[in-house]
Amino acid sequence: MKNRLRELRAERGWSQADLAQRLEVSRQSVNAIETGKFDPSLPLAFRLARLFETRIESIFLDGSETPDQEKTQIERNST
């Protein structure tokens, strides 16, 4: 699943290890989510949304949108 996790993490200056510690998961788990090799559980997705103070839909994209649609969706969800 496509996501904005790396972007959101970088905006805060956090390493993968920093994010992993905040979420109480391994750095490898963060890397796997960022690269789309692993989809987080629903509870973990909610923890990510709370941590980044945004909606789950603003972090995770279903992959069916074009890049322009993704940008519009992200902008819409961040308001």
Name the stretches of the chain with pLDDT < 70. 64-79
Superfamily for the 2-77 domain: lambda repressor-like DNA-binding domains (1.10.260.40)
Closest to 43 (Cα-Cα) out of 24, 28, 62: 24
The pLDDT assigned to 71 comes to 59
Q: Is 3 helix (H, G, I), strand (E, B) or coil?
A: strand
Task: Please state the pTM of the whole predicted model.
Answer: 0.77
Where is 60: in which H helix or E strand? Answer: strand 60-61
The pLDDT assigned to 66 comes to 46
Q: What residue segments make up the domains of the chain, in order of their start?
A: 2-77
Dihedral of the alpha carbons of 57, 58, 63, 65, in degrees to the nearest 10: 100
The pLDDT assigned to 62 comes to 79
Tokens found for residue 21: 């510690």
Q: How far apart are CA 54 and CA 77, in angstroms?
A: 8
